[in-house]
Structure 1
């Protein structure tokens, strides 16, 4: 009896171990996507950039990433490319490490663009491998997504002291998490090749692709992305402007924004188990409308509470959207993952120059007002989505290690 219990325990440990390493590696990669907005207040202070110029930095990190991410997804649909996980992590770190070197605005744009491409290459393949390791569990995928949230949350806490002490020239130190992330990804891939590992199980195509539902979901994701990236780009400056405190207040606001996402991500997986993914996604967008309105319109330190509420509400649907997209496109899981998992943190950067230009012309508060409307649009799109059949099928002999 004890022997059987020990065997079951070892089996559960083998299943969890790759996903744990993948989640930690995800944190290391998404650290770099959170680090770009965290650098913005320092670029404004040290180089005198205006709102439009600062938002251009976020655009550079997002634009190429948004374009190439679906391409990487299409590639991983045809050929498993597990080596992309450690390689893309190193590229993301190298790009950000060069972002503060020299005073050239063009070099800064190029460096953050390279970092964004690294993140774009990482997400479709990592979501495919994580889906295998989780065996299609929505709750397990929420823990994988949580890793990314933790990376986002850690970014302002690490970027602020490094750059505050060493100036923008100290950004090469920020490449160190990429080394850790690459090692974690390599270790996770080794475990998926082990006997009994995730390489023996794959999510098989199961049914016909529902492109109409996927398109509606993608449009909702785009609305969410613009809100989240717009707030993450400017909420630090906005909160510092509203409550005072300068750069430390900006770093705290970003930390609250990203940390609240961790709570929302885990909560989303649990709520979906009871109420269904589509219903939870739609409710979360309805709640986001009121939370964003509080950030923009409510005065005083209460803004921090609304920042946390926005973060939680935006991240409740985060991992659920990934598994929904994969179920809507069961024959194109890489593409579905690249669009939903990656697009959520990249395409919003395309809209940030418009927010920055509006802020330069009017005020930052006025420029942020349209962000109240977008979650309502996402709610209208999400509430009519179909709920896919529960659970993907599991097949033998995956090609994770191909």
Structure 2
């Protein structure tokens, strides 16, 4: 039986639509990346501990993760196209709160409001990218995801240039990005209202049957293990790499932000490659390469000097990031007809695991030091061995 990727689509790959979703993802994740990038400034300005920094990350990411699968499940049955621009309005409000916060409690509120905006964005925008894929699901998902990773890379760079020199109020400049995203998402919503329903019906007719109940259960368990390994390790970089560099190599905040930008730029490049490669050689092969390929670099990172730290961080970002698009499309193929729910669950797992990981790593850093934490997390990619238990989706990828 042919897979969804192998069936003739009713339209080609719609680059303007997939590109628009990727651009919105860039703007959305650029705003999100700004939050951990100002953690050193908030830590000093509000006299926070590593544990309190971890709780801010947890509140934001848990807010986003808990809502995403429910939003996706609801909109699978009851489409709400205008939810996309409305969700970005919440992000706009969260930025304003963050720029004007005067207490730790206000920082937590701002983080939660930005999280609500993210929860509405990811499942719905991922659905649009799939609708416009023309059957090239991996390529569309990786293009969409690379927009987010590019935004995540630009966030620390813009923060170092705009926010760090001028203080907390300069966070308000990111409202410009939110306004631009609202415009892009409105245009995508218009396309969905005029063309998207026909595309959705075509995909619904052509999808493969997916896994049986036992196969889905086994796939979910393995995916959770892989997501835990990937996103706890990624959380160690996005939230604490700057602190690691400052403590181990005595860099200042702006210098450390440049290293973080290099890592996140490598993540964006690796993500872009993962989807098209998965369309050709299969999702499981990409997942194997992603986890086991990065393990030697991860194990070596805590034991090298500054120059090799930069090199290894780039290699880790390139190799490990290729897995996410493959995991998302694999899950969509395993449970066909539930694009919103699966996308929300996958992005929700990403945020939830990342948030719990950030909080846990913060507590460990307070107790044992940030350098010790990097020695511990270097073993996480070895959990990629669980890929051996991942069932094949019905219909091999061509």
Common topology (TM > 0.5): yes
Deviations 1:263-315 (A, max 9, x none): 10122123223421111112211122222223322222221111112211221
1:385 to 384, 390, 395: 390
| SS class of match (1:331) | coil
Give, in whole Å, the separation in 1 of the partners of 2:141 and 2:26: 14
Structure 1 residues 63 and 156: alpha-carbon distance in aligned structure 2, compared to 1, 3 A threshold: same
2:275 equivalent in structure 1 = 269
2:6 equivalent in structure 1 = none
TM-score (norm 2): 0.89
Contact 2:271 2:323 in 1 (8 A): yes
Tell me the CA shift for residue 230 of structure 1: 2.4
Deviations 1:161-196 (A, max 9, x none): 2222321122222222111111111112223444xx
1:160 equivalent in structure 2 = 160
Does residue 116 in structure 1 map to residue 115 in structure 2? Answer: yes
Deviations 1:96-141 (A, max 9, x none): 3321423300100110111012101111111112111113311122
Contact 2:12 2:133 in 1 (8 A): no
Give, in whole Å, the separation in 2 of the partners of 1:193 and 1:81: 10
Contact 1:286 1:376 in 2 (8 A): yes
1:396 equivalent in structure 2 = none
Give, in whole Å, the separation in 2 of the partners of 1:297 and 1:94: 43
Give, in whole Å, the separation in 2 of the partners of 1:144 and 1:382: 24
1:367 equivalent in structure 2 = 373
Tell me the CA shift for residue 42 of structure 1: 1.4
Give, in whole Å, the separation in 2 of the partners of 1:330 and 1:214: 14
Contact 1:38 1:254 in 2 (8 A): no
Structure 1 residues 73 and 198: alpha-carbon distance in aligned structure 2, compared to 1, 3 A threshold: closer
Give, in whole Å, the separation in 2 of the partners of 1:343 and 1:255: 24
2:262 equivalent in structure 1 = 256
2:199 equivalent in structure 1 = 201
Question: Which is worse superposed, 380-389 or 173-182?
Answer: 380-389
Does residue 21 in structure 1 map to residue 23 in structure 2? Answer: no
Does residue 328 in structure 1 map to residue 334 in structure 2? Answer: yes
1:176 equivalent in structure 2 = 176
Does residue 295 in structure 1 map to residue 294 in structure 2? Answer: no
Tell me the CA shift for residue 12 of structure 1: 5.9
Does residue 307 in structure 1 map to residue 317 in structure 2? Answer: no
Tell me the CA shift for residue 152 of structure 1: 0.5
Question: Which is worse superposed, 35-44 or 202-211?
Answer: 202-211
Question: Which is worse superposed, 109-118 or 343-352?
Answer: 343-352
Does residue 358 in structure 1 map to residue 364 in structure 2? Answer: yes
Give, in whole Å, the separation in 1 of the partners of 2:108 and 2:30: 18
Tell me the CA shift for residue 94 of structure 1: 2.2
2:5 equivalent in structure 1 = none
Deviations 1:217-257 (A, max 9, x none): 23311321111122210001111222333111221122112
2:7 equivalent in structure 1 = none
1:245 equivalent in structure 2 = 251
| SS class of match (1:387) | coil
1:33 equivalent in structure 2 = 32
Question: Which is worse superposed, 147-156 or 167-176?
Answer: 167-176
Tell me the CA shift for residue 337 of structure 1: 0.5
Tell me the CA shift for residue 390 of structure 1: 5.0
Contact 2:12 2:134 in 1 (8 A): no
Deviations 1:69-114 (A, max 9, x none): 2211211222112212111122123213321423300100110111
Which runs of 5 or more structure 1 residues have no equivalent in the other structure?
Answer: 1-10, 393-402
Tell me the CA shift for residue 325 of structure 1: 0.8
1:147 equivalent in structure 2 = 147
Q: How many residues align?
A: 378
Tell me the CA shift for residue 198 of structure 1: 4.1
